[in-house]
Amino acid sequence: MELFPSDRIQLPRNMIENSMFEEEPDVVDLAKEPCLHPLEHDEVEYEPRSSRLLVRGLGEHEMDDDEEDYESSAKLLGMSFMNRSSSLRNNMSVYRQNPNGSCLVPSTRTMVVCTVVLVVAVSLIMAIYLLPKCTFTKEGCHKKNHTMELIYPLATNGKLFPWAKIRLPPDVVPLHYDLVLQPNLTTLKFAGSVKIVVNVVQVTWKIVLHSSGLNITKATITSTGGHEAKPVEFLEYPLHDQIAVMAPEALLVGQNYTVNIEYSSDLSDTYYGFYKISYKDENSKQRWFAATQFEPLAARSAFPCFDEPALKATFLIKIKRDEKLTTLSNMPKKATTPVTNGIVQDEFFVSLKMSTYLVAFVVADLKNVTRETNGSLVSVYAIPQHLNQVGYAVNTTVKLLEFYQKYFLINYPLEKLDLVAIPDFQSGAMENWGLITFRETTLLFDSNTSSARDKKLITAVIAHELAHQWFGNLVTMEWWNDLWLNEGFATFMQYFAIEEIFPELHSDEDFLNLIFKAMMKDSLNSSHPVSSAVQSSEQIEEMFDALSYIKGASLLLMLKHYLTKDVFQAGIEVYLHNHNYGSAQSDDLWDSMNEITNGTLDVKKLMKTWILQKGFPLVTVVRKGKIISVKQEKFLYRVEPENWTSDASYLWHIPLTYTTSSCNFTHCTNAYLLDQKSAVIELPEEVEWIKFNVDMNGYYIVHYTEDWKTLIDLLKKTHTALSPKDRANLINSIFSLAGLGKESLEKAFELIDYLNKESSTAPLTQALFQLSLIYSLLEKNGEQQLAARVMHRIEHLLGDKIDQQRWTDDGTLSERELRSTLLAFACTHDMRNCRTTATEMFEKWMKSNGTMSLPSDVMKAIFTAGAKSSDGWEFLLKMYSSSVSEAEKSKMVEALASTEDVRKLIWLMQNSLEGEVIRAQELSHIIATVSQNLPGYLLAWDFVKENWEKLARKFHLGSYTIQSIISWSTSQFATKAHLLEVKSFFESKSEESSHLRCVKEAIDTIQLNIQWMERNLAKLQELL
C-alpha cells in the first residue's frame, strides 16, 4: 500500500504561477460565498494543471453549471475563455493576413477599438486592485480578508473536491471512534468499519478527513438523536490522502453527528500502517504477524480518521481474529466473544483522549511475562522462541516507570503497559500509548550473547519510550513543526533517568557522542531550526532527525543546568499539568518555566534564540590577565558563497559556564549569560587556565585562540584536572575548528598526544572517531600511503591500550564497552595481533558448529575477523539463519557486511532489500558498514542508485532510514566528479526526492570533503 507515490508531484510555486497564464485554466469561477478558511500564503498547495480547477472563494455546493455565468465572471477580471479550436483563434485575430501568409498592418479602426478596450480593461483591473479588501464576484464587491485564489482540486470521480489544503478544515472535530477490524493472516487482507462521532464547530456541508489506500464501500451519516443513517456521497483526493463526506443537509454548529464508513484493504508490505511480517517459528515453519506503525501519517491507511496530532479523541477498538492468535491494543481487553467457527472478537476498553498516530494493535502468536507496579500491569511480549529473553526488559520497565511517576508527580494513567518485540520493525521503537512496539534488538536481552553495549541500548530505548507516555502521549505537540517537544524531551529524559537509576551504564558518555554528531549536521548550511514549518509528508518525515532528538535534548540539558534542576523539574510539572490530554506548542513550555522563574529570567526570550535559529554559536575566548573577552558568531562550514545564509544577524542568548585552575570543590562552575555579540568577564584573580562549556553541558563550541597552548600543556601534565567529558569536548572542538580553518591540524594532533595516558572512554572514543574520519577520507580518495601513516599515528597513541584488552566480559560496563570499541577497530584494521587472536577464536567456534560460548563484548571483533575468509563468511551466514538471539544476529550481519568480497557485498544488500534471508530492517545498517570499507563504498552508492525507487517505496521519502542510506552512501566522496554525479542523480528523480533536506546535506558534505582535502592534504603529508 503506497501512502505517497512518487508520481504525485507538486509543482513549485513559480511553475504553477506561470502556468496560470498559459493557454487556459480548466475553469475560472468567482463564487458567491466567502470561504470560511482563507489560505495562508505559505499553506497553498499547488498541483499539476491537468488535475485542478481554479476557483475563488468557493462555497460548498455553490458551483454554477451555466457556462455563460462562468464566462461573465471571468470577464470581470479582464479574462476571456480561449476556445481550443484554431478556427476561433483565427477569427479573434486583429491582424489581417496576406495570401502569402505575411501580416498586414492593422487598420486605423482596429487600432482605435483596441486602444479603447485596453484602457477600459486596465482601468477596471486597477479599480479592482485598489479597492480595499475587495474581491469581485458576480454580485459585485465583497469585502474579504483573504488575498489569494483558492485552488480547488478534482476528486477521483472528476467532481470538485471541496478542500485545497494539506491541513484539515476546522469545521468539525472528532470526539470518538468505534473501530472494528478483521485482519486475515491467510489472505493478508483486512476489512474494517469505523463510526466517528464529530462535533460541528462551523456550519458546513462537508466533513473532510484522511484516508489512504482504503477501498471504501459505504458511507452514511447520522445526526444526534437520529435513528436513520443517511447514505452520503463521498469524494476522494489521493494527493492529500483526503476524503470528503458530503452531507445531504447543512451540519449545524454545536451538534454531534456520526459518520459510518465501511472499507477494506491489503495488509501493507512496507513498514507503515497496518502491515504484515513473515517469520519462522520454532519448527522453521513460516508464520505471519500483523502490527501497526502509524507515526507520523499512517493511521489513515488503517482506518479513515482525522490524522493530525491535535485532533485527539477516544477510541473503542474491536478486532476479529483466529482463536489461536493473540490481539493487543492500547487498552486492556474487555471481552472476547465468538463470531463464527474458529473466529472470535476481542473488544478493548475505551481509550483515553489521544492522537491517531498513537493508536496501535497487534495480531500474532505471542507469549508474555508480566509484573505489577503501582496499579498497572507491565507485560513484555515476544514470539514464543524469544520468551526467555524478556526478563531484563520487564525489570527495567518497572524501575523506569516508578522513577517517571515520582519525577513528574503524575501517575501513569493506564491499567496496563505492554511492550512487544516485533520481528521486523523499521525504527527502534514506537511509543503507542499502553502498547509500545520495539525492534527485537532494542527489547530482548540474551545473557549469553548480549554485550554491555546491547544492555545500554535496550535500557535507553525503553527509557525513551516510557518518557513519551508523558511527553507525546499525555501532552502532544500541536503540529509536526514542534516534534522536538516529543522527541527532544523523550531523549533528554532517557539519559537523565538512566543516570539517576542506572549510573553504572555511564549513559552520559553516549549522549555526549550523539551531541557531537548532531553538531556536525547542524553546522551545515542545509541544517534547519529545531522548530521548523512543515507541510508535506516528506517534510514531516524529515523532522525525525538528529536535530529534533539530540539537539532538542541538549538544549533542555543546557536549560536544566542554567535554571538549576529543581526549577527545571518544577517547570516540567507545570507544563504537564497545564496541558494534559491536550496539545502544546514550544511557547507553552517556556511559559510554564516562566511561571516558576517568576520574572527573574525570561526563559521564552532565551530559548527562542535556540529553537528558531538553525546552527549554533562559536564562542571565541581571549584572556588577558583577569580580563576574559568573549564574542559569539555563527559556527558554519562555508562551501559555496552564493549559498551562504547571512549570519550577521544571528544572536544567541548563551548560558556560558566555565571552570578555572583556582576551582575548589565547593564552587567549581561559574556562569555568565552572553546575550550580546561580545562581552567582558572579569575574574576575581588571575588563573593559569580557563575551560568554558563545563562538561559540554552547553550547545556551543569554544575557540581559545592563544589559550589552546595552555590547555594542550595541561593535558600533557595533568589531564585529570579536567573531567573526561571536558577532555572529550576539547578534542571535538579543536578538530571541528581545524575543519573550519580557525585552527591548524597540527595543533589538533598536538592536543591528542596525551592520549597514551588516557583511560576514560569518552575522550578515547572521540579521538578515535576524529582520526577515523580522516583515515576514511584519505583511504577512499586514493591516498592510501597517507592513510597508512594516520593508522600508524593511531597505533602509536592507542596501541598499548589495545594490548591491555582481555578477550573476556570482565570489568565495569564502561570498561567493557571500551574493550568492544578498541578490539573491533584493531581487528578491522589488522592492528597489533588482534586479527590473529580473533581468527583463532572464530575457528574454534566454527569447529564446535557454533556451540562454543564466545565473550559477548568481543563477539563482533571475532565475527569480523572470521568473515574475512570465504569459508568463515559462509558459515557465519548459515549461523545467522538459525540463530534465535537477535543480539548475536546483529553482530553477525555487521561482520558479513565487512567482507572485501564484492560479490558477497552485492548479494547481501540485494537480499536485505528483498527481506528473504536478511530482513529489510537491517539494510541501512548493512549499507553503512559496506560504505565504510574500501571495496564497498562505491558499491553502496551504485546499489542506492539502481534501487532508488524500491528504497523510496519501502522506507518512504524523508524517513530516518532514507536519511541514513543517503548519508552513508555518499559521505566519503571528495571529488568534483562524485559531487556532480550525486547532484545529477537526485536532480533526475522526482521533485520530492531532489528537494529532500538529506540530499542537500549530502551535497554539502561532499563539498566540505573536497575543501578539506584541498586545504589539509599537503599539511598532513608534512605532519605525518
Catalytically active residues, by annotation: 465
The string of DSSP letters for 967-1016 reads HHHHTT--SHHHHHHHHHHHHTS-HHHHT-HHHHHHHHHHHHHHHHHHHH
Q: State the Cα–Cα distance between residues 733 and 590, nearest whole angstrom.
A: 30
Contact 757, 751 (CB under 8 A): no
The string of DSSP letters for 281-293 reads -TTS-EEEEEEEE
> In the structure grid, which three cell numbers stand for residue 615, read together?
546552527
Cα angle value 121/123/127 (rounded, 5°)? 115
Cβ-in-10-Å burial (0-12, 13-18, 19+) of 604 comes to middle
Cβ-in-10-Å burial (0-12, 13-18, 19+) of 324 comes to exposed
CA distances from 454 to 819, 820, 857, 973 (A): 14, 11, 9, 31
Question: Buried b vs exposed e over 186-198: b needs ≥16 C-beta within 10 Å?
Answer: eebebbbbbbbbb
Q: What letter does residue 6 receive in the DSSP assignment?
A: T
Cα angle value 568/571/577 (rounded, 5°)? 145
How many Cβ atoms are within 10 Å of 334's Cβ, its own excluded?
Answer: 13
Dihedral angle, C-alpha 968, 970, 973, 977, nearest 10 °: 170
> In the structure grid, which three cell numbers stand for residue 51, read together?
488535475
The string of DSSP letters for 332-387 reads -EEEEEEEETTEEEEEEPPPPSB-GGG--EEEE--EEEEEEETTEEEEEEE-GGGG
Distinct helix (H) and strand (E) counts, the chain:
32, 34
SS3 breakdown of the chain: % helix, strand, coil, rounded to 5?
Answer: 45, 20, 35
CA distances from 288 to 94, 187, 424, 443, 881 (A): 72, 11, 11, 20, 18
SS3 at position 181: strand
Dihedral angle, C-alpha 260, 266, 272, 278, nearest 10 °: 140
CA distances from 121 to 77, 236, 578, 661 (A): 8, 39, 58, 80
> Is the omega angle on the peptide bond into residue 763 within 30 degrees of 0, that is, cis?
no
> In the structure grid, which three cell numbers stand for residue 848, read together?
564446535
CA distances from 521 to 97, 379, 569, 961 (A): 64, 38, 30, 16
691 φ, ψ (degrees, to nearest 5): -125, 120
SS3 at position 262: strand
Q: What does DSSP say about strands 286-293 and 233-237: parallel, antiparallel, or unpaired? A: unpaired
Contact 708, 751 (CB under 8 A): yes
SS3 at position 672: strand
Q: State the Cα–Cα distance between residues 672 and 399, nearest whole angstrom.
A: 37
- Please report which residue ranges of 752-885 form alpha helices under DSSP H: 761-780, 784-804, 813-828, 834-847, 859-866, 870-882
Cα–chain center distance at 413: 27
Cα–chain center distance at 763: 29
HSE, CB side, 13 Å, CA atoms: give it for residue 319. Answer: 31
